[in-house]
Amino acid sequence: MENIDQNILMDIRHLQMTFDNIEISSDSNFSIQKQKGYLITGPYDSANVRLLSILGGIFPPEPAPGCKCNILYKGTDLYTSKEKTIKEIKKHIAFIFCEGAMISNLSIIENLLLPVSYHFPNYDRTLVLDKIKDDLKYLNIPDILDKRPAEISFYDRKKLSFIRAALMNPELVLVDKPFFNLDDYDRDKTVLYLDKLKKNGSTLIIVSHYLSIIKPLIDEKIILEKGNLVFQKLTGLNEESNEL
């Protein structure tokens, strides 16, 4: 039984991935610490999103023959563990997809409640509904809970995916391009919303090209370049030079 650092949420060992014929690998191990903010960035957008999916347990990494790559969440492998264990881990991971993905044949309220009702069948519905109503007001979304995803605007769908993620009180929030197609007002609101999540104990991993907007949330940058990963800690407030 290996000792697990209590501050470490994820350990990524010998990461290897291939995307659109671009190979990215890291011989060194790296870790994701609790309650920190990480920015995944780099010139290959698809690769950035693929790394986010690998860290979230959706797509397995692709190690070369003979190599072993492990994505450990609090010491448990996200891909090789038993299904029950993985399911237990995923209760604590929330995804915010670029296009605010939703199940098209469920209503908005059913979409919002789906992860909570699946993982926590005995949840307090009134409490959750109150939280949803508060967040709708905060993110300036009209009362559209009974509509289907196709009936609402892209902006609202995107903002609703933030609310859905927050309902799970996640330990890890993975965000793919949080500001895609949002206007300035909504951008500021979503940064504050993500900041609130971080302050409540969530770790954030964000794929974005807008470092200047999300800088308050970010502690470290993970830059995906052809062939390898580069890590940059953000220490000062004025780090314009780091912006890609």
Q: DSSP string covering 166-188, please?
A: HHT--SEEEEE-TTTT--HHHHH
**Are the beta carbons of 52 and 174 closer than 8 angstroms?**
yes
Give Cα 71 distance to the centre of its chain: 15
Partners of 152 in the β-ladder: none
Residue 63 CA: distances (Å) to CA of 5, 36, 43, 69, 72:
25, 27, 22, 6, 15
- Shortest CB 14 distance to other proteins, Å: 24
Examine residue 33 and tell whether it contacts other proteins (CB under 8 A): no
Nearer to other proteins (CB atom), residue 6 or residue 122:
122
Q: Can you tell me which of 56, 139, 179, 194 binds other proteins, judged by CB under 8 A?
A: 56
Nearer to other proteins (CB atom), residue 14 or residue 119:
119
Examine residue 36 and tell whether it contacts other proteins (CB under 8 A): no
Examine residue 91 and tell whether it contacts other proteins (CB under 8 A): yes
Question: Number of residues in contact with other proteins, rule: CB under 8 A?
Answer: 23
Residue 24 CA: distances (Å) to CA of 79, 219, 224, 227, 228:
19, 22, 7, 4, 5
10 closest CA partner among 183, 203, 163? 203
CA dihedral 100, 101, 104, 105 (to 10 degrees): -110
- Shortest CB 183 distance to other proteins, Å: 25
Q: Which residues of 204-229 are buried (b: 16+ CB within 10 A; e: fewer)?
A: bbbbbbbbebbbebbbbbbbbeeeeb
Nearer to other proteins (CB atom), residue 174 or residue 218:
174
Cα 57 to Cα 46: distance, rounded to the nearest angstrom: 16
Residue 120-159 contact track with other proteins, rule CB under 8 A, x = bound? -x--------------------------------------
- Shortest CB 158 distance to other proteins, Å: 14
Nearer to other proteins (CB atom), residue 56 or residue 61:
56
Residue 92-121 contact track with other proteins, rule CB under 8 A, x = bound? -x-x-x---xxxxx--------xx-xxx-x
Interface residues for other proteins in 198-237 (CB under 8 A)?
Answer: none
Residue 67-86 contact track with other proteins, rule CB under 8 A, x = bound? ----------------x--x
Which position has the token pair 């007002």? 185
Q: What does the binding site for other proteins look like in residue numbers (CB under 8 A)? A: 56-58, 83, 86-87, 89-91, 93, 95, 97, 101-105, 114-115, 117-119, 121
